[in-house]
Structure 1
Amino acid sequence: MRVLYRNKSEQHELKVYDTKRLYEEQGHFRVLEFSNEAVQGAMDLSRPERIVLEYPRAMVHLMERNASNYESVYIIGHGIGTLPTYLSKKQVKVAELDEEVLEISRTFFNYAGNDVSVGDGRDLLQQEPSGAYDYIVVDAFTAEGTPKQLISIPFFKIVKEKLRTDGMVMLNVFGRAGNDQLVNAIHTTLCELFEYTRSFALPVETEDEQQNRILVASDQPIAFQTRHMAGFVEQELGEGYVIQD
């Protein structure tokens, strides 16, 4: 590992490094890591256009499978700019709380997009027109996980207002494998407002591990093909509580 940058911003402990091994793959990778060694983005330096991590690949499939002619996407949480870069031919707006993360994406990961607003994603989304978006993606983290203000009933009411009638919200979340109380609560909260929900998870070996999940909600049926979900499999979640502010 060769560390290129290390700092503590107001929001995160930040580290950028190059490595020849990422998870089980050999290659030449550049990684952005937040607090607790949480990988927030990775670039294949040999093939910069490639989407390395599984969850954005799965999200792209869900977008293209459910609305192949979609045009507008709002993303809360920028990271290295993987999704905005892939969606550069679409109408994309991004909210990022930490200005330093945006600068890192430009300096170390060659992010060239311009439509990124620095500020609280919930407040910025509230300012958008009603019914403006085909997809809203929540991919924001602090050291404690997804901020509560981005998983509550009041927030999801804002999301629903900003989505088109057939639009979809997708969340990238982490929780304990098996019966995670917070993940169950996020799912239950989504069920309060949306007709259809689905949960997908990357398989892990034990229930003590942290598991990456994608939660999806819409008022229209949600389609997917397992072979295009980058290893994510559908998962049934338990009943949880409804999250308020």
Structure 2
Amino acid sequence: MHLLFKELSDNHEITVYDTNEWYGEKGNFRVLQFSNDATQGAMDLNDSERVMFEYPRAIIHLMEFNDPSFNEVFLIGHGIGTMASYFSEKNFKVAELDEKVVELSKTYFGYSKDNVIIGDGRSILESEETDVYDYIILDAFTDKGTPRQLVSKDFFQITGDKLRSDGSVILNLMGRVDNDTLINAIHSTLRESYNYSKVFSLPSEGVTDIQNIIIMGSYKPINYQARNMAGFNEMTLEEGYIIWDK
């Protein structure tokens, strides 16, 4: 590992490093990582357009398959700018809490767009005009997980107000695939605001494993092709409690 940057920001410790191995694959990779080994972004330096993680590949497929002509996207959580870079011809507005993350994405990962607003994603979204967005994507974490204010009924009501009549919200979460009380609650809360929903997860070796879970809510039926979901499988959740703002 070759360390390029390390600093304690206002929110967490941030590290950027190069490595010649990525989950057993040999090559030339650059990684953005937060505290506790929480990887926020990775780039194949030999193929900068490659999408490294499974979850953005799955989200990209859901977006393209359910609305091929979409154009307006609001994204909470920047990372290294993977999705906004992939859809370079689309209009992305990105909210990111940590200014240092945006700076590092430009310095070390080649992010070239000027579409990131520094601040609280919910507050920024709340100030947007109504009926604007085709998709609202949530990909925001702290060391305690996804902030409650971004998965409450009040938040989902805001997203519904900002989406067009056939728009969708997509959440990237971390949780267990079996009886995760919080994941169940987030899904039940989302269903209070959206007519249709689907949940996807990667295969798990154990029921207690923590991994990416994608939840999509929409005003129209949700479709997908299993072969293009980067290993994610559809799953069924139990009913959960409704999450409200404190």
Normalised-by-shorter TM-score class: over 0.9
> What is aligned with 1:220?
220
Task: Give 5+ residue unaligned stretches, structure 1.
Answer: none
Matched, 1:110 2:126: no
Measured against aligned partners, the alpha-carbon deviations of 1:177-223 in whole angstroms (never above 9, x if no partner) come to 31111111110100111110100001121112112111000010000
> What is aligned with 2:98?
98
> What is aligned with 1:36?
36
Structure 1 Cα separation of the partners of residues 4 and 242 of structure 2: 42
Structure 1 Cα separation of the partners of residues 118 and 175 of structure 2: 27
The letter of the residue matching 1:29 is: F
Q: How does 1:120-199 map to 2 (within 5 A)?
A: 120-199=120-199
Structure 1 Cα separation of the partners of residues 9 and 241 of structure 2: 33
1:91 CA displacement:
1.1
> What is aligned with 2:10?
10
Structure 2 Cα separation of the partners of residues 177 and 210 of structure 1: 8
Structure 2 Cα separation of the partners of residues 117 and 203 of structure 1: 35
1:39 CA displacement:
1.1
Structure 2 Cα separation of the partners of residues 182 and 3 of structure 1: 36
CA RMSD, aligned part only? 0.9
Q: Is the Cα–Cα contact under 8 Å of residues 184 and 237 in structure 1 kept in the other structure?
A: yes
Measured against aligned partners, the alpha-carbon deviations of 1:108-138 in whole angstroms (never above 9, x if no partner) come to 1010010110000000001111010000000
Q: Is the Cα–Cα contact under 8 Å of residues 203 and 211 in structure 1 kept in the other structure?
A: no
Secondary structure of the structure 2 residue equivalent to 1:59: helix
Q: Is the Cα–Cα contact under 8 Å of residues 81 and 105 in structure 1 kept in the other structure?
A: yes
Measured against aligned partners, the alpha-carbon deviations of 1:86-118 in whole angstroms (never above 9, x if no partner) come to 111111100000001000101110100101100
**How many residue pairs are counted as aligned between the two chains?**
245
The letter of the residue matching 1:191 is: R
